[in-house]
Structure 1
Amino acid sequence: MRTPRRALLLVLPLLMAIGLLSAPAAAAPPAVQTGPFSTPTPGPDGRIIYIMQEGDTLWTVAALAGITLEELMALNGIQASDAGFIPPGTELQLGLAGPVVATQPPGATPTPTGPLPTPTAISGTGEICVLLFRDDNGDARWAETEPALAGGQLSVADVNGTVVGEWTTDGSTELDLNDVAIGHCFTDLQFGDYNVSAGVPPDHNPTTTMNIGVRIEPGETKYVAFGAQPSGASAGGSGGERSTLLGLLGVVLILAAGGLAFYASRFNRGRSRLLR
């Protein structure tokens, strides 16, 4: 009995030694940065930026930068749920410094800055060409077959109501290169807004609005056209149509009366036969 027990006592230490030798070495704890922490240089915008390294945590970065963890998270908009998942290479703002000021080399003198150029005011003149035409078809649009009217009044006034030009039409007109009727042109009008109006000749009715606002740019030409019809044109046409309608109505009434008379005579004849 003693021999097996002794053998067991000899084997157990041997097995324990073999187990210790075959066990893997324990993983060494991650290295912690113990060296001096150099504060990053502020950028041109004054921000102090630190780039996360392998093994860094927000707590260690905040402690080495001399700020609290809450301040570091607030500067970078980090939520508490994301504090443990900041990968290496992430830029963290540690604070703000004054903007970087470029220094001049010794002995250099600053070059004085000249006065800024004064904005040039807009200047120049334009013109407005106004046509008063006889609107034969009444469509309020000028056609090549519609002549200019004489005896009308044209005027141009600025935004203050001051009349800067007047003209009595003489019935003459001409076309520009784009076949646009020119009429009378008011020239040398300064840049700005104007009101153009027209008065029709006697015994005429306007077919368009008789005043319009126009804005003139330097070197620009604007074209305005006003239309009018002789007063008797529309009245004569409506009178002729009315006479025709009345004539047709009279014929219808005469035919209707004749029909009634014929029917009445036939009715009376039939009645007299029945009485016999």
Structure 2
Amino acid sequence: RTPTRPASSFFFLIHAPPPDIPPLPPPPPLPICTITHPIGWNKISTFFPAKKFLLVFVNPPPLPKPPRPPATLPAELITPTPTPQPGYAKICVVLFHDIDGTGTRTTGEDYLYGGVVSINDRLGKVSLTGTTVAGNPDEIEPLCFDNIPEGSYNITVAIPDGFNPTTVTSYPLEVKAGDQATIDFGAQRATAPIQQEDAGGMRSPILGIVGVVILIAGLVLAFLTWRQGR
């Protein structure tokens, strides 16, 4: 009678070699299996006459342990990382009243209104315009352009009437994501050219009158010379 197999185990029927065949060397040990419940050679001989079997039960190898999940912090201790803006910069443009004409904004030199600003990239994809603001730099924000894509730009300003530039009026700029650049342009009141134009305007009528008098005198002299010759 074959004994009942224990739970979670397998059984093997191992045929005993005939006596005329030399026995095989013992099999190597099975480190991952445990052989239990040995049964005698002749326990099941009634089922297989003249044959000898060894009936054993072998416990299955243990299943590998699942990996432990990584430790996680509580949600209240995790600070989310802000998502960066994809590739944008900010450009501000200032036109200041350069009173001393140094080309550098100093204390007491305010912003000037009326400068027309143009921002163009070198690929021709970005073209922006704006007008400069006036006021105290400590109280007024300058003209700014947000969400400027990364790239190379050319920034120009047209000086308003009545002023002369004291700095360059065109500036190349390279911006990268997250940059914030401020470009200063300077201008000074154009008083001397206006005075010269007024003086020139006053001289022009006098020169015209003198010219007419000379012309008339020449005609009279020519007429008298012609009469005497007759």
Higher relative contact order (CA 8 A, sep 6+): 2
TM-score by length of 1: 0.37
TM-score by length of 2: 0.44
Kindly indicate which of the two structures has a greater share of residues assigned to helix.
1
